[in-house]
Structure 1
Amino acid sequence: MTASTVHYPPGGIASAGVVPYDPKPSLRYAAKVGFQAAVVGTFVSTIQNALGTHTRGAPGFLTRYGGTIGIFAAMGATFALTESVVANQRQKDDPLNGVAGGCAAGFLAGIRSRSLPMAVASCAVLGAAVGVFDYSGQSIAGHNAGLSPEEKRKRFFKQKSQPPPSSEESDE
């Protein structure tokens, strides 16, 4: 192949107004999200260690609760890898990619409990949660995220309604 070879998605050139799909680097994304999830897992493990009663002291966040760090990292990496592989295969960026990633991560969490029904239920719950989040625009703030504080205040407080025009005023 030459350097000027252009690859189009299956089905031909994208129609006007549709942005062609840009493939995601799966392993890089999985490593990044896995590391971020491991940091969150370390925080959760530290909280568990602080609230737990044992004789291991400060190193207990690794020795006693280190599995929490591992499962968080594994779930994060599994989610990211599955989401990007599904997106690359489908060549679409839509909420179904997040549903697949959430389902894979939830299944992994359920398998940790050594129960297949728990794994299937976790797959459904986490997949649905991520799918709804992606479908709603990937924002917890909702539709008011781009509004100024003054506009938010005006929408929050009830506005006094104007009385309907009387028939005497409309006849003139």
Structure 2
Amino acid sequence: MSDSPSPAYDPKPSLQYASVVGLQAGAVGAFVSAIQNALGNHSHGAMGFVTRTGGTIGFFAAMGATFALTEAVVANQRRKDDAVNGAVGACAAGFLAGIRARSIPMAVGSCVVLGAAMGTFDYSGELTGEKGETQEERRKRFFKQPPKPLLEAVAE
């Protein structure tokens, strides 16, 4: 383990985070539903993406909100911001996917697969040390910096 002190935990607003992620996931669900409607062979017309495949929109929104709410609640309870929070949130979203398929084995399997995938993804970000990096630090690291004398000449 490292000897450096862990940074102070900043609590997450659970409902606000879940609402935002749920709306974003619902927008992705609307896009997927529109694609399903366009590729399907039916007589429902353009509104088929709501009437025929509209359940996709709600399902995506529910999975996104479930993930975000669970992740925020677990993080607030543990007072830690690490890979476990994302893994638990993804497990809850995966369990919801299995319940939609009306299969407990599928729910448990989806929980394990999505939880492991998200936990690994979050953990690998922590391993590379880029988790606490700000956008300004990334920008400075990405773009070449001019030599010091040129900066001083421009400042004068």
Normalising to structure 2: TM-score of the pair? 0.78
Aligned to 1:39: 27
Query: The residue matched to 1:54 in structure 2 has which SS?
Result: coil
Which of 40, 44, 62 is the equivalent residue of 1:56? 44
Q: Give 1:17 shift.
A: 3.3
Aligned to 1:98: 86
Q: Structure 2, unaligned stretches of length 5 or more?
A: 131-137, 145-156
Q: Structure 1, unaligned stretches of length 5 or more?
A: 1-14, 151-172
Relative contact order, CA 8 A, sep 6+: which one is greater?
2
Higher-Rg structure is: 1
Q: Indicate the RMSD between aligned Cα atoms, in angstroms.
A: 2.1
Q: Give 1:19 shift.
A: 1.5
Q: Give 1:73 shift.
A: 0.2
Higher helix share: 2
Q: Which runs of structure 1 show a deviation greater than 6 angstroms over 4 or more consecutive aligned residues? A: none
* Count of aligned residue pairs for this structure pair: 130
Q: Tell me the distance in 1 between the aligned counterparts of 2:28 and 2:119.
A: 22
Which of 119, 142, 151 is the equivalent residue of 1:131? 119
Which of 61, 65, 71 is the equivalent residue of 2:59? 71
Distance 1:131 1:58, change over 3 A: same
Q: Tell me the distance in 2 between the aligned counterparts of 1:45 and 1:33.
A: 18
Identity of aligned residues (%): 68
Normalising to structure 1: TM-score of the pair? 0.71
For residue 21 of structure 2, what is the amino acid of its counterpart?
A: V
Aligned to 1:156: none
Q: Tell me the distance in 2 between the aligned counterparts of 1:19 and 1:114.
A: 42
